[in-house]
Structure 1
Amino acid sequence: MPRPVVLTRPLAQAEPLAGRIRALGRQVEVLPLLAIAPLADPAPLRAGLSGLGAYQLVAFVSPNAIDAAFAHIDTWPEGLRAAVVGEGSRQALLAHGVPAGLIASPADPARSDTEHLLQALDLPALRGARVLIVRGESGRELMADAFRAAGADVTVLPAYRRSVPVLSAELAARLRALAAADAEWIITSSEALRGLVGLLQELNESTIVALLQHHHLIVPHSRIAETARELGFQHVTLTGSGDERVLAALQSRP
């Protein structure tokens, strides 16, 4: 019997992929390892997005950033370029009506991260340009630092909050059950994976930690794969960005 699949995406993005996995005949457990919440005060976000037409490039770090931003964007300015790090974000922009020809992303879907987005962009052309980065309240500074080093005028705009779930009695019971089931985990964020390890450490049960480290992880980015190995996970499949590649990885396993 196929092993259960644990989908750890934030709840809002989990169900479409969960439905496709169920259609393959697999049991799916939706276990969000990051909670995405609106900002306590959305006024700065609305104000920051009101002048989009003044920018030459808007970079979104995730589908969550896109969804949060487009709650306050009526029309995408004509000719405004966008940049994203993954296929999920590209699809989200397309769904919001941003023309495909205006969206820059990494050339290799297996290398969907900030480093490879920067390689895909013409950074010298950004000298003197105004660039907006839409992200969570915290995040890596690599993108902003690279744009500033290229001579761009960079604004970083927080659009949402991220948090790891609290270890409740219910969550502890689910983690124990999943550890015993030898599940396959779809992990789409290094932060979420570190959050999982933190929850396991809170349980203070070394047997569960050891069991989960032998489970199979399916990850879309090389940086997540590196994080997984650093944290002691031994069976990691790197798929590249996009749900189709995740589904193909699941179908290729017994």
Structure 2
Amino acid sequence: MVAGRPVVITRPVKQGVLFQQRLSQAGLTGVLFPLLEIAELPDKTALLASLARLDSYAMVAFVSPNAIDHYVAHVQSWPKQVDIAVMGAGGVAALQAYGGKLQGVRIISPTNALKTDSETLLEELDLQRLAEKRVLIVRGQSGREFLADALRNHAVLVDQLPAYVRSEPVFDAQRQQQLQELLRQQAIWVITSSEALRTLHSWIGLLDEDIIVANMQRQQIVVPHQRIAETAQQLGFHSITLTGSGDEQLLVALQSQI
């Protein structure tokens, strides 16, 4: 616990378990409370078809570790001339699981460990070299358009490919009870997506108890990006800690509160 309070991990289960292990190694205890679920596409026709033309791309950009897991797993051997771009340390770590397929492949990611997102990735790209060439962006079924729009503005030919389905978990009786307990304990919530934060806010509203809603305002939210911090403010959260990007920065912020 941090100062006797639970650290709530709201990521999808796979990433949540990994971060829980990181917390344990740092002497902290995390509670899994996923606010997003990740599932396979119901129809992989387009995804599998893209593998046949993978070598026609100058670069493939993955928006998240989930995008990596749901695409690279289907690749037999990655073409060495096709660069890979990822948003940050989480993406680099996810690629390590497929190292045997990626020998000799150039991996591009933001060099500023304190800020890793589409904007900082764009700063690392050789946009003149990519002009008039094809780039594939692998993502969920929806997401930000910043990177695709920015690349197109530099004459890059962009394809976007959904690789997985992101959804809100079912807010069943067990989750309702767990949420009420966490709210009463004034937990520290690690929120790494605005979508997850909106789900939390929605679920709290469904509890329909004045004491629970009041407790919401006293929850501490730890976020790694300004956009998420702004969303938290808009939704009525009062105690918001903005860290640098990446798990290391989140851990430093949590440890500082012991």
Q: TM-score range by the shorter chain?
A: over 0.9
Q: RMSD between aligned alpha carbons? A: 1.8
- Structure 1 distance, partners of 2:43, 2:247, is 33
1:110–1:221 contact (8 Å) kept in structure 2? no
Gaps of 5+ in 2: none
- The equivalent residue for 2:79 is 77
| Alignment-mate amino acid for residue 79 of structure 2 | P
Q: State yes or no: 1:68 paired with 2:70.
A: yes
User: Structure 1 residues 228-237 or 46-55, which shifts more?
Assistant: 228-237
2:204–2:213 contact (8 Å) kept in structure 1? yes
User: Structure 1 residues 162-171 or 200-209, which shifts more?
Assistant: 200-209
- Structure 2 distance, partners of 1:143, 1:44, is 21
1:88–1:241 contact (8 Å) kept in structure 2? no
Q: How far off its partner does 1:34 sit? A: 0.3
- The equivalent residue for 1:26 is 28
| Alignment-mate amino acid for residue 172 of structure 1 | Q
2:116–2:246 contact (8 Å) kept in structure 1? no
Deviations 1:200-251 (A, max 9, x none): 1222234323312322222222222222222222222222232222222211
Q: How far off its partner does 1:129 sit? A: 0.7
- The equivalent residue for 2:144 is 140
- The equivalent residue for 2:109 is 105
Q: Where does 1:1-254 land on structure 2 (aligned, <5 Å)?
A: 2-97=4-99, 98=102, 102-254=106-258
| Alignment-mate amino acid for residue 59 of structure 1 | A
Q: How far off its partner does 1:101 sit? A: 7.3
- Structure 2 distance, partners of 1:86, 1:66, is 12
TM-score by length of 1: 0.93
Deviations 1:28-84 (A, max 9, x none): 210110000000011211111232111001110100000000121121211321111
Cα separation, partners in 2 of 1:101 and 1:232, compared to 1, 3 Å:
farther
1:167–1:202 contact (8 Å) kept in structure 2? no
User: Structure 1 residues 72-81 or 60-69, which shifts more?
Assistant: 72-81
1:86–1:106 contact (8 Å) kept in structure 2? yes
- Structure 1 distance, partners of 2:104, 2:118, is 19
- How many residues are paired up? 254
TM-score by length of 2: 0.91
2:219–2:239 contact (8 Å) kept in structure 1? yes
| Alignment-mate amino acid for residue 252 of structure 1 | S
2:11–2:191 contact (8 Å) kept in structure 1? yes
Q: Secondary structure at the match of 1:172?
A: helix
Gaps of 5+ in 1: none
Q: How far off its partner does 1:99 sit? A: 6.0
| Alignment-mate amino acid for residue 87 of structure 1 | A
- Structure 2 distance, partners of 1:23, 1:59, is 31
Identical positions, percent? 49
Q: Secondary structure at the match of 1:29?
A: strand
